Structure 1
Amino acid sequence: MDDVASPRAVPGDDALMRAWSAGDVAAFDVLYGRHRDKLYRFLVRQLRNRALADDIFQDVWQRVIAAHADWTPEAMFTTWLYRIAHNRLADHWRATRHRPSAPDDADLRTAQIEDPHTPEGLTAALDAQRGLQAALDALPAEQREVVLLRLEQELTLEEIAEITGTGRETVKSRLRYAMDKLRATMNP
Structure 2
Amino acid sequence: MDVDALYQRHRDALLVFLVRRTADTEVALDLWAETFAQAVASSRRYRGTTDAEAAGWLYGIAKRQLAQYYRRGHAEQRALTKLGLERPPASDALLREVEQRAALADLRRDLAEALGALSEPIRDAVQLRIVDELPYADVARSLRISEPAARARVSRGLAALADFLDPIAIREATAT
- TM-score scaled by length of structure 1: 0.42
Bigger Cα Rg: 1
Structure with the higher fraction of residues in helix conformation: 2
